[in-house]
A and B are shown apart, each in its own frame.
Chain A
Amino acid sequence: MTQTRRDGWYLLGGVALATLMSVNVGCDGNMTKLSLESTEAQSRDAFVDPDNPGQVIIPGEGIKDNPQQPGGEEPVIEDDFDRTQPYVRRLTELQYHNTIRSALGDYFEPEAYPALDDAIPTIGFANNPEYLGINDANAGKLYDATGVIAAQSVEQVPDIKACVESQNNACFQELIEDIGAKLWRRPLTSEEVQDLELARQAVEAAPGTRVEQAEFIVQALLMNINTLYRTEIGPTGIAGLAEGERLKLSDYEIASALSYTLWNEPPDQTLLDLAAAGELGKQEVYEAQLERLLGDEKVASAMTAFYVDYLKIDKLFIKEKVSEFNLTPEARQALVDGFKQDVRATLQLPGASLYDPFNQTDFHVNQRSAPFFQVSDLQGEVFEQVAVDPTQRYGILTHPAFLSVHSGTKDSGIVKRGVFTLEQLLCEHLGSPPANISPAPAEDLPEGFDPTTLTTREALHIQHSSQIQCYTCHKQIDPAGFGFENYDGSGLWRLTEKDNITIDASGTLEVQGETLTYDDSIGYVKALTGSQTMQRCFTERLMTYVLGTKPSEKEHELFLTKFSENNGNMSASLQALLQSPSFIQRQIAAPTTTSEEE
């Protein structure tokens, strides 16, 4: 490529500045040019900084994003896979906190970070972009918390403190550029810097003190859309793209996607440098970085968050339970913390499989959670890894935190467990109950039956089988819940219930052509997790979690094959998943927001 140099920059060619969107990259002889779809756009020269190809300088306009920087030189792959749609997705609360910590330093107490109070859907994932937002309810908390962090930053973050103490206004702009680039995971354009600088000057003119000006800058950056959300829309955006059109994420978007997926953190300097150089979109560079990130222990922590979301473990904090279960706030916290430690420790083992948490027999237990494992002789708040009787506990589906979440207020919740198993674990879509069905109490049985002499399972079976409108669905739902009957509503192992009536946790579950037969809850869990149906569903759930939406059938099949080939090995599976077409490419979807996923 011939480059016309000007003050260290080289001439790029005519660049559309009016919209910087709907542009295609093309080559014309020795000079790179943009072919413009926008008829309103005015062409003019732009110059690329060889040290930062992600930006161009336009005479009279300043620095802009380089529209010819579509994530490296790798072309969009043409094949017959449907990609998932592009998103603008808000960071999860954890990712947001980590981003603040990364940009400003670890100076703040845990309670200082904004609580965003996101909903926890029963089926699907809380990290679904549709569920994460800023709204009337959490905007106030965001404002208050970022105000506190801004005030503390002025006192504690050295660069900010030094700027406030100086009499040099130029340092404010440096703060905007430096902190902004860390929070936004990309350099700010000159226009973006100027907007915030002008707003800062308005505060100064009020008159505002230097402390107030610095606090303003920090809060404005923390609450900014570019901090809170990350995009998957390519370098020029998706406005104007037609249904079915594909795009590749920009290098900076790839850096964020990689880092937030594998570490739940913003991209490190290595990723940002590669993005700035336009290297990250290149296949060999991408693969090398993927391998580097996968080699870090942070991956196990990030994947632990997946299992917590997948199994709705955080719902334990809001689940209503009768006091007889002794699920005090402290006990709930201990159970959730122990669950996380279980998964993290399992995934940190060399060669760990993503399926291993379903098969673990050691559990992290402390004094507060010990009663739920029926473990004695444990003292204190510190967790110990305890080998629990494998005939009573086997894998995270037998963890008391999971079983307490998926059960009733007062009972084991056969129907709740059945619905969750079918929907979330086996990807069976049940739909809503039919019209005018009134779920009746378990003791409401046909004449001649005494509920006090029957197990909950027997009563439920009699009740549902006596009404055809119930039985149609419950003949499928109930067996999926019977298998957990060895655990009560707090996850305690049991062989009897009520007045010493022997529990029957055996059964047969027909699902997607497979027949799962089990003698007790451990047998059920082993049959479930060993089934092809659950493995297929698990891989689909994992892809949905990572991509933010359900993958296409073909893409899922591709991943499922690779997952099976490497026995679910975490590194190999994530490597395959993050090389799925949809991870760095997107496709404009039909104009509908409805999917069958949730």
Chain B
Amino acid sequence: MTRVNRRTFLKGLGASAGLASSFFGSRIAMGQTEEAPLRVMFVALQHGWGVNPGFGRNFEGSEYNFTLPKQLQAFEAIKDQMVFIDGARGTLWGNAHDVSYTDILTAATPWGENGNDDNIPGPFPIPEGPSIDYVIAQHANKPALRLSARYRSWVSTPHPMSWDDQKRVLYGFSTPTDAYDAIIEPMRSNLQNPPSPGKLAARSNLFDYLGKDTERLRKKVSGTEQRRLEDYLSGLNTLSERLQQKEELTLTVDDLPTRPTQSPAFDASIDNYFDMIRLGFKFDTHRVAVLGFGEGLDDWTWIDKNGMMRSGNPWDEGFHHAVAHYNKQDDPDVEDRRNAYDYWVDWYAKKIVQFVQSLASTPDVDGRSLLDNTLIVLTGEVGTGTHDTRNKLHTLIGGGDRLPRGRWIESPKVEPRMRDGIFIGGQTRAGEVVESGINYGSPFSMWHTADVLKAVGNLAGVPLTSFGLETNNRSPIALDLTT
């Protein structure tokens, strides 16, 4: 059996010691432990996993005895593996798309900023803190695998969801072939054609050398320009980690998926991504993955109010406004728009179920299933079907006995007109706490996504006492998911 080496941290870039320490200072060399680590996978669905209760996301029952809303019925098959956190608000101000792009995994979007920052290609603000996937990956001392299935914003492609602790965008792969060529192909190439000593030496010396010249230039500049050079080094760093894996793995060519076709169907591209994530988790090359589901599906079938099967979006408006975004109660067409949206969500839910079942049948190093050692977090952009993030649904799947599952946890709600003692607002980049004067209309969650992300970080072993902006850690009732 051919073995692949993996190295846990970047060797080299020695000339940029100051920079390296800021990237890796918190890292600890970790070897394989007898106990299998928890892997975490974040799945963001562009329009959320079912919109607000008034639009059909109705759980009924009690915490451990509940029924699923219509659009999430597909999860019935794995319900005992799931925890539904029903309602957590994102940062609530301005156009929610602007805000939630950056807030979704960071809970650190500053209050009152429109973006318009030259550092980000699009009108959304830079978060003040890193995304949770970065934090967990740093703690685990493993790279994160970031993938996008047409998840993009209305202004920018590619569309960022992850940031590091220097406020730098962490880009992901936007096609299965790109991801495959970067992640899997080097493994395949190494297994099939072990590199010669000269090639190995070239690879290991290349990044040391490039680091020296970069550091020389870095010393001549300051501020933003230094940051630009650090971005370059960070990109090389990630690349170096991928290329120079050293830790021994029992991986064979037969374990590797085949290369995706150049332009796979959307369905197939998601399966390709799932294959890569499963491989990364199984062989412990990655402990964190981020997968964005966008509007790739355009031929889903759904049943209209007359019981007729329909296909895709028949309305003149694009999917975003006609289906996912639609919330006009007095429109005679509203029921069909809801049906179309529900079946759209259902399609993604079924894909998740398939993936979860495949993890359940994959043995892990500790004898349990890979699902027992993987926590999948379903999240999304908006929570109500409008430009609003007030009551987002977060769903946890798997994780074994690290948390009690088969639960529906409904967030306590606050009535916006009677908010005595309940803080609604945010924090500016300068640290100023701002109480919002906006009348938000209907009730919304006391919990913030910061509370959910902190709880997930805790489950992954990161000793977080808070996450994101301090004022976003709002939970008056502790959201403790552990047993």
Contact = CB atoms under 8 A, between A and B. Distances in A.
A593 B221 CA distance: 15
A88 B331 contact: no
A401 B208 CA distance: 45
A203 B203 CA distance: 9
B219 interface: yes
Given A231-B217, A598-B117, 16 more contacts: A119-B156, A121-B122, A135-B170, A135-B171, A199-B205, A203-B198, A216-B202, A229-B228, A239-B222, A318-B157, A432-B94, A433-B95, A435-B95, A436-B387, A593-B118, A596-B116
Interface size bracket, B side: 35 or more
B334 to A, nearest CB: 10
Given A87-B225, A236-B220, A594 B116 contact: yes
A219 B210 CA distance: 10
Contact of B228 (A21, A133, A207, A411): A133
B235 A139 contact: yes
Contacts of A131: 121
B225 A238 contact: yes
A560 B388 CA distance: 43
A134 B235 contact: yes
Interface in A343-369: none
Interface string A557-598: 000000000000000000000000000000000010111111
Given A122-B156, A444-B328, A224 B213 contact: yes
B428 interface: no
The interface residues of chain A, by DSSP majority, are classed as loop
Contacts of A241: 222
A120 B123 CA distance: 13
B58 interface: no
B116 A598 contact: yes
B322 A441 contact: yes
Contacts of A209: 196, 198
B231 A220 contact: no
A128 B221 CA distance: 18
A88 B225 contact: yes
Interface string B118-161: 11011100000000000000000000001000000001111000
A59 interface: no
Contacts of A129: 228
15 contacts: A135-B169, A137-B172, A139-B239, A141-B182, A199-B209, A205-B201, A206-B198, A209-B196, A212-B196, A219-B206, A239-B222, A241-B222, A408-B318, A433-B387, A441-B315
B385 to A, nearest CB: 8
B70 to A, nearest CB: 22
Contact of B317 (A19, A138, A442): A442
A598 B199 CA distance: 44
A228 interface: yes
Interface of B: 92-95, 98, 114-119, 121-123, 146, 155-158, 169-174, 178, 181-182, 196-202, 205-206, 208-210, 212-214, 216-217, 219-225, 228-229, 231-232, 234-236, 238-239, 242-243, 315-318, 321-322, 325-328, 331, 386-388, 438, 440-441
Given A140-B182, A140-B239, A436-B387, A239 B219 contact: yes
B217 A444 contact: no
Contact of A594 (B118, B200, B220): B118
A171 interface: no
A110 interface: no
Contacts of B322: 441
Interface in A30-46: none
A134 to B, nearest CB: 4
A233 B98 contact: no
A240 B170 CA distance: 29
A109 interface: no
A129 B223 CA distance: 14
Nearest to A597: B118
A220 B210 contact: yes
Nearest to A139: B235
Interface string A201-213: 0111111110011
B94 to A, nearest CB: 5
